[in-house]
């Protein structure tokens, strides 16, 4: 099993938190990763607490399951949304349409292509540093 580094986990969870269209609250993601939401806030957002190896493995497993399409948002009979693992035959990433500005030799162009909905490895345009 691949385990993400602590810096990669912090970056991806912060990118996930900044995305308001993710479809689930961060408390639900913490429950899916089997850690307490208050501890996750202290480890990632506030930086008051060190990330343990167990928390690192659990957060990494949850992030990779979302990215690979093994998990996603589900709804129970009462209409409550929660994160859960998909059945084995449904495994494929959830795709969405993405618009990117691409720099080429002739200038800037607009690229519209499908991307993984739960891929938080890259930041959005607002989080990029100006150079």
Would the pLDDT of 10 be above 60?
yes
Residues 104, 53 share a domain: no
Cα angle, residue 126 at apex, residues 124 and 127 outer, rounded to 5°: 70
Read off the pTM.
0.68
In a domain? residue 82? yes
The confidence score (pLDDT) of residue 14 equals: 93
The C-alpha atoms of residue 111 and residue 108 are separated, in whole angstroms, by 10
The confidence score (pLDDT) of residue 40 equals: 94
- Confidence band of 39 (pLDDT split at 50, 70, 90): very high
Residues 15, 57 share a domain: yes
In a domain? residue 127? no
102: which strand partners? Answer: 109
Q: How many domains does the chain divide into?
A: 2
Domain that holds residue 99: 95-120
Residues 43, 19 share a domain: yes
In a domain? residue 15? yes
Residues 116, 70 share a domain: no
Task: Work out the mean pLDDT of the chain and round it to a whole number.
Answer: 85
In a domain? residue 86? yes
Would the pLDDT of 130 be above 70?
no
pLDDT, tens digit, 9 for 90 and up, residues 46-85: 989 999 999 999 999 999 999 888 888 888 889 888 888 8
CA proximity to 54, closest of 106, 112, 6? 6
Would the pLDDT of 129 be above 60?
no
């Amino acid at each position: 099993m691949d385990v993400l580094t602590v810096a990669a986990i912090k970056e991806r969870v912060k990118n996930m938190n900044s995305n308001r269209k993710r479809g689930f609250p961060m408390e639900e993601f913490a429950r899916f990763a089997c850690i307490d939401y208050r501890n996750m806030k202290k480890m990632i957002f506030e930086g008051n607490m060190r990330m343990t190896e167990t928390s690192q493995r659990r957060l990494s497993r949850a992030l990779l399951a979302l990215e690979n399409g093994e998990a996603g948002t589900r709804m129970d009979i009462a209409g409550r949304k929660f994160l859960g693992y998909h059945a084995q035959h449904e495994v494929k990433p959830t795709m969405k349409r993405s618009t990117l500005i691409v720099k080429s030799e002739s200038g800037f162009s607009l690229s519209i292509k499908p991307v993984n909905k739960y891929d938080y490895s890259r930041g959005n345009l607002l989080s990029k540093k100006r150079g």
